[in-house]
Amino acid sequence: MIDDALSFFKALANDNRLKIVGLLAQQEYTGEELATILSIQPATVSHHLARLAEIGLVSARADGYYSVYALSVERLRTLLDEHLSSDAFIQLTNDLDLQAYENQVLREYIRPDNQLQKIPNQINRRKIILAHIVRDLKPGVRYSEGQVDRILGKIYDDPKALRVELLDQKFLTRDEDGYWRGKLQRSSGAGYGIWD
Amino acid sequence: MIDDALSFFKALANDNRLKIVGLLAQQEYTGEELATILSIQPATVSHHLARLAEIGLVSARADGYYSVYALSVERLRTLLDEHLSSDAFIQLTNDLDLQAYENQVLREYIRPDNQLQKIPNQINRRKIILAHIVRDLKPGVRYSEGQVDRILGKIYDDPKALRVELLDQKFLTRDEDGYWRGKLQRSSGAGYGIWD
DNA sequence: ATTGTAATTAGACATTCTTCTAACTATTTA
DNA sequence: TAAATAGTTAGAAGAATGTCTAATTACAAT
């Protein structure tokens, strides 16, 4: 997936290869002609053509002892569609663990026995911890203050402080009838798509 | 022109930078988060973000001692338009001397005193020479065989051979009333555009 | 004020890439 | 058949790139 995109951009990330594509976009050329126009050695042209051929952008046809090179317009269209479509950029992250940072922060503050060591100072990390902890409350259920503190007390020795933080950061809501869990929110900035 | 296209493709010709673009296409991230998700050092992330910022693809906003990075969607659209439009590829050749090969062949076979040394064996080169020589005849004018040979004789000691070649390769046409110059043709394969 | 954190920069090291020359193959022409 | 030509491949040298560590800057919290 990302390897294909990478091959595509790498293939075009060179001035002589870009020039070759530009030339072949207008007409066919032999290797000798390309070498002369670009002022480089035939061997170098061969190398660049091979790289362009790797992604199917260029094809060769034999003509006597000449090779005549042509741009594959079909393939160019396909490649542009594949790697520059609205989803293409997002799919570049397919193999990544998007939760890696959150998990790292959780491991840092919550011990293996599930005890919170300390409420993080930085708002960033605090939110990650709170978003995790609030999952101990069931959504849609209303809790008394005592119930909340009992639940929080199982993972931290100052449940009141934890409760206040959860309220401050809107992970927990209260009214005269008690507390309930708010909707989960992202830890980072709001997401948005490339093409709206 | 080509430098801009080159910067664009080079900026995206790296796996970690592609991943960063993919991540930022979905939401904002801090450098620390990117480093964790990509499993690389913050310094390396900084370096890649700087390269993406060079072409305006990424912008940073300060938030405390964090920098929050965002993809510039506007800029991405502009870049795609600029470098992948129908003309973009053709304009990559703007600074090239497209006649370099023809000129080299001409220099090889025609001496400074404008005398043709020899008719090239290879069809390729022969055509280039003939296309050049036929310009000694005015388009639209009808010549007798004697007139043709007199003109060709000024640059080559066997005008008859030259005349036959010009006819063979269709640079010259004849009927019962005489000879006339054919339309000029390209030396290489037929040109075609990318998007028809 | 001091300490801690995120980010950047400089510099070093290793890897990748570009280009060349030289050797070799395939094809054509004398 | 021998010589000439276009192209490819292998290998080497130099340039560019990616990544790291260490030092530095900017900001924030105790």
Cβ A60 vs Cβ A10: under 8 Å: no
pLDDT of residue B184: 52
Strand D proximal to A16 Cβ, under 7 A:
no
Exposure string for B52-72, b = 16+ CB within 10 A, e = fewer: beebebbbbeeeeebbbbbbb
What digits encode the pLDDT tens for the residues A108-159? Answer: 899 889 999 989 988 888 989 999 999 999 988 999 999 999 999 999 989 9
> Cβ of A2 and B19 within 8 Å?
yes
Instruction: State the nearest residue by CA to the C1' of C9.
Output: B43
φ/ψ (deg, to 5) at B137: -100, 140
- Nucleotides on chain C that have an atom closer than 7 A to a protein CB are 4-11, 17-23, 26-30
Cβ B194 vs Cβ B151: under 8 Å: no
Q: Sort B155 into a burial class: Cβ within 10 Å, 0-12 / 13-18 / 19+.
A: middle
φ/ψ (deg, to 5) at A80: -65, -45
Give the Cα separation of A52 and A60 in Å (integer). Answer: 11
Residues contacting strand C at CB < 7 A? A 10, 13-17, 40-41, 43-44, 47-48, 51, 62, 64-65, 122, 124; B 30-32, 35, 42-43, 45-47, 49-50, 60, 65-68, 121-123
Q: How many CB pairs under 8 A join A and B?
A: 151
How far is residue A139 CA from its own chain's centroid?
Answer: 30
pLDDT of residue B192: 29
For residue A3, give the amino acid letter.
Answer: D
pLDDT of residue A109: 92
In chain A, % helix, strand, coil (3-state, to 5) comes to: 50, 15, 35
Q: Strand, coil or helix: what is A176?
A: coil
Average confidence score pLDDT of chain A: 90
Task: Give the length of chain B.
Answer: 196
What digits encode the pLDDT tens for the residues B141-172? Answer: 999 999 999 999 999 989 999 999 999 888 99
Q: Residue B163: name the closest of B122, B124, B116 by CA.
A: B116
Strand D proximal to A47 Cβ, under 7 A:
yes
User: How many other CB atoms are found less than 10 A from the CB of residue A176?
Assistant: 4
Give the Cα separation of A90 and A72 in Å (integer). Answer: 27
Give A101's contacts (C-beta < 8 A, 6+ positions apart): A128, B32, B33, B36, B37
Contacts 24+ apart (CB under 8 A), B48-55: B48/B14, B48/B16, B48/B17, B48/B20, B49/B20, B51/B11, B51/B17, B52/B11, B52/B17, B52/B20, B52/B21, B54/B7, B54/B11, B55/B7, B55/B8, B55/B11, B55/B79
Measured CA A173 to C1' D30 distance, in angstroms = 29
Q: Find which nucleotide's C1' atom is closest to B47's CA.
A: C8
Check pLDDT > 90 for residue A182.
no
φ/ψ (deg, to 5) at A66: -95, 155
> Cβ of B39 and A189 within 8 Å?
no
Q: Find which nucleotide's C1' atom is closest to B64's CA.
A: D27
Average confidence score pLDDT of chain B: 90
The reply to whether the predicted model has a pTM over 0.85 is: yes
> Cβ of B26 and A90 within 8 Å?
yes
Say what percent of chain A tops pLDDT 90: 76
Measured CA A82 to C1' D7 distance, in angstroms = 32
**Partners of residue A6 in chain B, C-beta under 8 Å:** 13-15, 18
**Partners of residue A22 in chain B, C-beta under 8 Å:** 2, 89-93, 96
Measured CA B151 to C1' C8 distance, in angstroms = 73
The shortest C-alpha distance from A57 to chain B (Å) reads: 12
C-alpha distances out from residue B101 to A32, A39, B129, Å = 8, 10, 12
> Cβ of A37 and B70 within 8 Å?
no
> Cβ of A22 and B93 within 8 Å?
yes
Q: What is the mean pLDDT of residues A54-71?
A: 96
Token pair 């036959």 in the structure block, residue: B164
Strand order in the sheet with B58-63: B29-30, B66-71, B58-63
What digits encode the pLDDT tens for the residues A65-122? Answer: 999 999 999 999 999 999 998 789 999 999 999 999 999 999 989 988 999 998 998 8
Instruction: State the nearest residue by CA to the C1' of D10.
Output: A43
- CA angle A149/A153/A159 to nearest 5° reads 60
Q: Find which nucleotide's C1' atom is closest to A44's CA.
A: C19
Give the Cα separation of B80 and B75 in Å (integer). Answer: 9
What digits encode the pLDDT tens for the residues B60-72? Answer: 999 989 999 999 9
Give the Cα separation of A132 and A126 in Å (integer). Answer: 10
- A6, A28, A100 ranked by CB distance to B188: nearest: A28
Instruction: State the nearest residue by CA to the C1' of D29.
Output: A121
